[in-house]
Every structure is written in C-alpha cells, then in structure tokens.
C-alpha cells in the first residue's frame, strides 16, 4: 500500500486503502477499453490500489480487463472480486474462484465476497471460502449487501466471524446503514466498503453539495466523495473510467469538510432516525 495514503484496517489488522476503484460497467465496450485501463492504472499510481470487481460484471469481461490493467502491477494492488449467490455452495465458490483467477490472470484474490445473499446456506459458503483461504487462492473473504440480521446469522455459523468486510450501498444520499449496520460493523472491528459512493453519478440536482462545491472550487461529486471518506471505518470504491474523474476522486481525499459543511449536509440528507432496510443497486 502507498505510504502515507489513508487506510482502514481489516479485523486481523491488515491495512487497505481508504479510497479504491470500482470497475462495474468496464470492459463492456471495445472503444472504451484503452481509456478504462489507463484510468485504473492512473488510479493505482495515485495510491488507489484497492480494486473491486466481480464475476458478474460484463459476464467476466470486466475481470479480464482488470487482469490486463494489473499486468506488472499485481503485487501493488489489493484485489477484490465477488461470487454470484448461485455459485455460493461449498464447491461452487471454489469453481467460481478458479474461473475468476484465470480471467484476472493472477494466482490469488486478496478479498473474495459473496455478492449478495441467495438461497445457499451461509455455512456452506463460508466452508468453501475457508477452503480457498487454506489453498492460498484467496487471502480474506467477506460479504456484500448484508443487513444486520444477515450479519448476525453469518456470525452464528462456524467460521462466520472470519468475515473481513461488508460491501454495501452507502453515500450521502443513502444513509440508512448509519442507524444500525455501521455501528454493528464498528462494534465487530469490521470496515465497511461503500459502493456507489457518488450514487452511480445520480446525486440529486439541487442540494448543499452545490454550495459547498462552488465555495471550494470543486465538483459536487468530489464533495460527495469527501463526505464518504470522512466516515470512520469506511472505505470507498468509486468507479471512474475517465482519467480526469480518477484524479478528481483522488483529490477528494484532501478536501476537509468543515463542521458547517457537515451540518448543512445533515440538514438536507438527514441521518436515519429509525431502521431502514439496506438498499442495494
């Protein structure tokens, strides 16, 4: 990991960058391929060495693109991929992982997630994940789109407490997890990985984000990124296939929102006062 770059710690103490890069919708258009690879490599050069992908993205084409982008850089990166729920049986995750490794052109995935919860019992998935850890194919495992009740169930199965993170939809416009899921994860010393940190570029048109952005000479997306990055125990994986977006996202790490900025955002994007079911994209 780049020295001096902000980080969060996994439950075992390993540090991962607080700001990484997503890859959903990359690798799907030949005409964009070179730009997408250049964007990912620029992000890595800027310290955003946490790279998130999934077997689902582009039906495997995204993992292939990530593999190409990581050529010569694999050891600099903390690589995350995800298995489909329909591949989440004990043998299914092992087959899915082998296929991902092949597409990614690597011998190990640093963090392997169950993409969302399906019908396979969690103990089967965890048993498969643990076998992959023992075989050196993955270094850590975790989950995605798990609400508090799912996390409780996970922790009740054998080896379930070995979960390294929960990757969830979390941004300034979707603050539901603050009510119970973020505190639950903090209590269990587990970082949360915020996906769609700028809400898939669909942030509301008029909000205090505009005033803060104008006053600081940055974009509303950078203010929204800075807000997520301000949350303790949270890392974020914005996806940017344009190199200028990558640079702006990196620059958002250096935006220190003031107490007034945060109060204005709280007044508009109200923190939850009761349980809201976890949303997903």
Residues in touch with ligand NAP (CB under 6 A): 22-24, 52, 115, 144-145, 167, 195-201, 219, 221, 237-242, 245, 248-249, 280-281
Q: Which residue is nearest to ligand NAP (CB)?
A: 22
- Report the residue number, 52 or 63, with the smaller CB distance to ligand NAP: 52
C-alpha to C-alpha distance for 64 and 20, rounded to whole angstroms: 18
Nearer Cβ to ligand NAP (137/250): 250
Helix axes 148-156, 122-134, angle to 10 degrees: 60
Q: Which residues are catalytic?
A: 57
Q: Min. distance of Cβ 183 from ligand NAP in angstroms?
A: 21
* Residue nearer to ligand NAP on the CB measure, 138 or 273: 138
Between 184 and 195, whose beta carbon lies closer to ligand NAP? Answer: 195
Least distance in Å: CB of 21 to ligand NAP?
8
**8 Å CB contact between 175 and 269:** yes
State in angstroms the smallest separation of the CB of 63 from ligand NAP.
Answer: 11
CA distance 36 to 26: 7
Compute CA distances 153 → 27, 156, 161, whole Å.
35, 5, 10
> CA-CA distance, 17 to 8, in Å (whole number)?
6
Q: What is the number of residues in the chain?
A: 281
Q: How far apart are CA 167 and CA 10, in angstroms?
A: 13
Q: Is 245 annotated as a binding residue?
A: no
Separation CA 4–CA 250 (nearest Å): 13
Q: Which residue has the tokens 């190199």?
A: 243
- The pair of structure tokens assigned to 168 is 């969830």
For residue 226, count CB atoms less than 10 angstroms from its CB and return exposed for 0-12, middle for 13-18, buried for 19 or more.
Answer: buried
Contact 235, 9 (CB under 8 A): no
Give me the least distance between CB of 214 and ligand NAP, in Å please.
15
| Phi/psi of residue 143, nearest 5 degrees | -135, 170
- To ligand NAP, the closest distance from the beta carbon of 61 in angstroms equals 14
- Complex with ligand NAP: residue 200 or 216, whichever CB lies closer: 200
Q: Which residues are annotated as a binding site?
A: 115
Q: Point out the annotated binding site for substrate.
A: 115
């Amino acid at each position: 990991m780049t020295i001096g770059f902000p980080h969060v710690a996994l439950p075992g103490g390993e540090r991962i960058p607080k700001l990484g890069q997503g890859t959903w919708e990359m690798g799907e258009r030949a005409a964009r391929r070179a730009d997408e690879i250049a964007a990912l490599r620029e992000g890595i050069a800027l310290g955003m060495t946490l790279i998130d992908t999934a077997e689902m993205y582009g039906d495997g084409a995204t993992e292939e693109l990530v593999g190409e982008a990581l050529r010569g850089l694999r050891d600099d990166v903390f690589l995350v991929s995800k298995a489909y729920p329909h591949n989440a049986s004990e043998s299914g995750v092992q087959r899915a992982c082998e296929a991902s490794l092949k597409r990614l052109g690597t011998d190990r995935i640093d963090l392997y997630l169950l993409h969302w919860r399906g019908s396979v019992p969690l103990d089967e998935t965890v048993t498969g994940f643990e076998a992959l850890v023992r075989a050196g194919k993955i270094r850590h495992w975790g989950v995605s789109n798990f609400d508090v009740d799912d996390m409780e169930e996970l922790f009740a199965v054998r080896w379930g407490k070995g979960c390294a993170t929960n990757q969830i939809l979390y941004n300034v416009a979707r603050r539901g997890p603050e009510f119970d899921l973020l505190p639950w994860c903090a209590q269990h010393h587990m970082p949360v990985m915020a996906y769609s940190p700028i809400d898939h570029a669909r942030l509301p048109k008029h909000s205090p984000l505009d005033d803060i952005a104008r006053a600081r000479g940055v974009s509303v997306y950078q203010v929204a990124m800075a807000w997520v990055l301000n949350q303790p125990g949270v890392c974020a994986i914005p996806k940017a296939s344009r190199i200028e977006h990558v640079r702006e996202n990196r620059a958002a790490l250096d935006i220190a929102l003031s107490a007034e900025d945060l109060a204005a955002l709280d007044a508009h994007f109200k923190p939850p006062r009761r349980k809201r079911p976890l949303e997903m994209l």
